[in-house]
Amino acid sequence: MVPKYKRILLKLSGEALAAKDSVIDGGFLAEVCKAIKRCTDMGVQVALVLGGGNIWRGRIGINISRPRSDGMGMLATLINSIAVQDALLQCGADAHVFSALEVQKLAESYSPEAAARCMENGGVAILACGTSNPYFSTDTGAMLRALEIDADILLCAKNIDGVYDSDPKQNPNAKRYKTLTYGRMLAENLKAVDGTAACMGDENGMKMLVFALHDPENICRAAAGEDIGTVVVPSETK
């Protein structure tokens, strides 16, 4: 398999890594990390952003302020990041966790330069704790980091195989887009990523691919530019 992209940022949802009865499905996580290792073996430079929804999502069931809730979500992404780091190390990959929050005993401090050095040396740069600010989702954090590290594409691995014109769980006739623009996605309120992330991608020319993670090999296929999922492009380029 020949890679299409030199440097990718892969965003993994926390829910995609969860098991029915536990926070993380260890067997599935191992398969995901083996696929990431195959990408680095192909010469692809890989950065990761993990969501935290399998551990903490919003303020469900608890009366807590939004900033504190978002802070808890950032820590949830750090927990997932450390788990992924360990799984990558176990399958022979080099991996470093870079945190936007100061947690010196658990992770290195994030900077675009440090993440780039890690990737250039063949390691996987795992970028934790979002933007370090409340009110920003991990989608926005992933888009920001993709721009900061000069990634060729943002790969969004989800529980769904692309962007649809309506909810395929509710509408059996929902149509999956092969390609669409950020502008159309925003205009039609297609919530593949949040609006802030979509606007950032549109304004700064970052291409995005939304694809299903159910088969971890899709990560390699995405890095090779195979026809999977939905490609989202800046409005002015289509």
Contacts of 107 (CB under 8 A, 6+ apart): 78, 81, 82, 97, 98, 99, 128
Residue 22 has a CB neighbour count (10 Å cut-off) of 9
Mean pLDDT for the stretch of residues 164-192 = 92
pLDDT of residue 57: 79
DSSP label at residue 227: S
Which has more pLDDT, 234 or 159? 234
Share of the chain above pLDDT 70, in %: 98
Q: How confident is the model at residue 237 (pLDDT cuts 50, 70, 90)?
A: low
**112 vs 3: CA distance, rounded Å:** 23
Find tokens 């999922």 and name the residue: 229
Mean predicted confidence (pLDDT) in 127-132: 96
Q: What is the pLDDT of residue 119?
A: 98
Q: If one looks up domain 7-237 in CATH, what number appears?
A: 3.40.1160.10
Query: Residue 108, SS3?
Result: strand
Contact criterion met (CB below 8 Å) for 42 and 2: yes
Residue 238 has pLDDT above 70, yes or no: no
pTM: predicted TM-score of the whole model, two decimal places: 0.94
Which residue do the tokens 């551990």 mark? 55
Q: Give the mean pLDDT of 80-93.
A: 97
For 132: left if phi > 0, alpha if psi spans -120 to 50, otherwise beta; the answer is left
In this prediction, residues 67-89 reach a mean pLDDT of 95
Return mean pLDDT, the chain.
93
Average pLDDT over residues 117-132: 97
Return the residue matching tokens 């993440």: 115
Phi, psi for 42 (deg, rounded to 5) = -80, -10
